[in-house]
């Protein structure tokens, strides 16, 4: 059945079931002019939005609607995680071509609802309009954080250690497999393709890192090089990153071989890993490294004086400026 047979209101009726996963903080969900939520006293509110445009951020040839829905929410939860917070509510707006199949939209929402259920996030509203061409999805997420746990990009200090929460570059390698190859033919492809299509936001880790005193934090959406430069410029410091210490998965290294690329380039310039990049004092890091926080922490560098810039030390010990050339929409 096509969307135009049920119309806007019929569609909203179909999508609005199973959207509240933590009813304690929702007074009014989908169905009124605005949603009404009950904030936790003395917590700061976090708000973030991400828009995905067909042909720019995704192609329907390489992603299933369920995966697309999952990812559209995941990228927002990752931004809340990078502030040290807990995601609470989502508002979802879609612009839909009128020949879209209803099944497509219910699958899209099933993916959204799945990740919302996993993370206890409520879908409390949105907007539905028609699009003359291509699907557009905008997700806005509200979250909360204890004032003492808020972690910004701007807090890195000289002497801090630079750490990541997991392997970097899997998503970019997964993207190449999806778009250039018959990825089903390669036994190493699955974790990479999964990392690209259904990334897991590091919400729990983000909270723990905040508790342990992370001084700055960013989620890796545009590539490690780009995020490192973001932290450096926001904090007014320099960074030294050791290429040899950046965690690369064996599967990603195999994919790099297949495409005759340098594995390290996937990590530095690929993006969409949604791992967390953070800085922390060395003694706090030692405490943290002894805990099992459900992710593999790896120290990859140090915070240095601003004049040093953002520097990459490659495997041969050569130092070069680490340029922020990740994905940039207007270049």
**What does the binding site for Mg ion look like in residue numbers (CB under 5 A)?**
33
For tokens 């050569």, what's the residue? 318
Q: Interface mask (CB under 6 A) for ligand ADP, residues 76-105, using x and -?
A: ----------------xxx-----------
Q: Are strands 86-96 and 122-130 parallel, antiparallel or unpaired?
A: parallel
Of 7, 31, 159, 257, which lies in the binding site for ligand ADP, with binding defined by CB under 6 A?
31
Query: What residue number has its CB nearest to Mg ion?
Result: 33
d(C-alpha 151, C-alpha 217), whole Å: 6
Contacted by 127, from ligand ADP, Mg ion, none: CB < 5 to 8 Å by type = ligand ADP
Closer residue to ligand ADP in complex, CB, 35/246: 35
CB of 231 to ligand ADP, least distance (A): 34
Which residues inside 4-23 make contact with ligand ADP, applying CB under 6 A?
12, 15
Asked if 271 touches ligand ADP (CB under 6 A), the answer is no
DSSP string, 141-182: EEEEE-GGG---GGG--TTPEEEESS-SSHHHHHHHHHHHS-
d(C-alpha 58, C-alpha 61), whole Å: 9
User: Strand (E) positions, the chain?
Assistant: 26-28, 36-37, 44-53, 86-96, 122-130, 136-145, 161-164, 216-219, 238-242, 276-280, 298-304, 310-313, 319-321
Q: Interface mask (CB under 6 A) for ligand ADP, residues 124-163, using x and -?
A: -xxxx-----------------------------------
**CA-closest candidate to residue 188, choices 258, 264, 263, 260:** 258
Closer residue to ligand ADP in complex, CB, 125/169: 125
CB atoms within 10 A of CB 62: 17
d(C-alpha 298, C-alpha 315), whole Å: 17
Asked if 30 touches ligand ADP (CB under 6 A), the answer is yes
Query: Of the ranges 30-38, 76-84, 263-271, 278-286, which one interacts with ligand ADP (CB under 6 A)?
Result: 30-38
d(C-alpha 97, C-alpha 94), whole Å: 10
CB of 306 to Mg ion, least distance (A): 50
Residues 40/11, Cβ–Cβ less than 8 Å:
no
Contacted by 94, from Mg ion, ligand ADP, none: CB < 5 to 8 Å by type = ligand ADP
Closer residue to ligand ADP in complex, CB, 93/298: 93
Query: Of the ranges 120-128, 145-153, 216-224, 274-282, which one interacts with ligand ADP (CB under 6 A)?
Result: 120-128
Contacted by 85, from Mg ion, ligand ADP, none: CB < 5 to 8 Å by type = none
CB of 74 to ligand ADP, least distance (A): 17
* Torsion sign (Cα): 58, 218, 153, 315: negative
Contacted by 2, from Mg ion, ligand ADP, none: CB < 5 to 8 Å by type = none
The C-alpha R_g of the chain, in whole angstroms, comes to 20
Of 32, 103, 184, 323, which lies in the binding site for ligand ADP, with binding defined by CB under 6 A?
32
Contact positions toward ligand ADP, by CB under 6 A?
12, 15, 30-33, 92-94, 123, 125-128
């Amino acid at each position: 059945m096509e969307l135009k047979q049920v119309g806007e209101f019929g569609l909203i009726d179909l999508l609005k079931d199973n959207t509240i996963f933590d009813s304690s903080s929702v007074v009014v969900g989908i169905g009124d002019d605005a949603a009404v939520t009950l904030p936790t006293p003395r917590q700061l509110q976090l708000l973030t939005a991400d828009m995905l445009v067909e042909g720019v951020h995704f192609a329907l040839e390489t992603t299933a609607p369920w995966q697309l829905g999952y990812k559209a929410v995941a990228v927002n939860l990752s931004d809340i995680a990078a502030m040290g917070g807990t995601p609470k509510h989502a508002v979802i707006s879609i612009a839909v071509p009128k020949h879209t199949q209803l099944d497509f939209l219910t699958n899209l929402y099933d993916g959204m609802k799945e990740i919302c259920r996993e993370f206890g996030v409520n879908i409390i509203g949105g907007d539905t309009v028609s699009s003359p061409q291509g699907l557009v999805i905008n997700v806005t997420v509200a979250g909360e954080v204890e004032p003492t746990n808020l972690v910004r990009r701007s807090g890195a200090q000289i002497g801090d250690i630079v750490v990541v929460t997991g392997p970097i570059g899997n998503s970019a390698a997964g993207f190449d497999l999806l778009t250039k190859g018959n990825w089903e033919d390669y036994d190493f492809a699955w974790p990479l393709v999964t990392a690209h299509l259904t990334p897991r936001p590091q919400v729990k880790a983000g909270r723990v890192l905040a508790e342990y005193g992370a001084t700055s934090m960013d989620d890796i959406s545009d590539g490690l090089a780009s995020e490192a430069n973001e932290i450096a410029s926001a904090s007014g410091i320099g960074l030294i990153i050791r290429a040899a210490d950046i965690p690369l998965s064996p599967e990603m290294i195999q994919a790099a071989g297949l495409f005759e690329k340098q594995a390290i380039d996937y990590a530095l310039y690929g993006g969409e890993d949604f791992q967390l990049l953070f800085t922390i004092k060395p003694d706090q890091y030692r405490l943290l490294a002894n805990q099992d926080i459900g992710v593999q922490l790896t120290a990859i560098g140090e915070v240095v004086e601003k004049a040093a810039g953002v520097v990459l030390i490659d495997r041969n010990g050569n130092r070069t400026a680490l340029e922020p050339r990740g994905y940039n929409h207007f270049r």
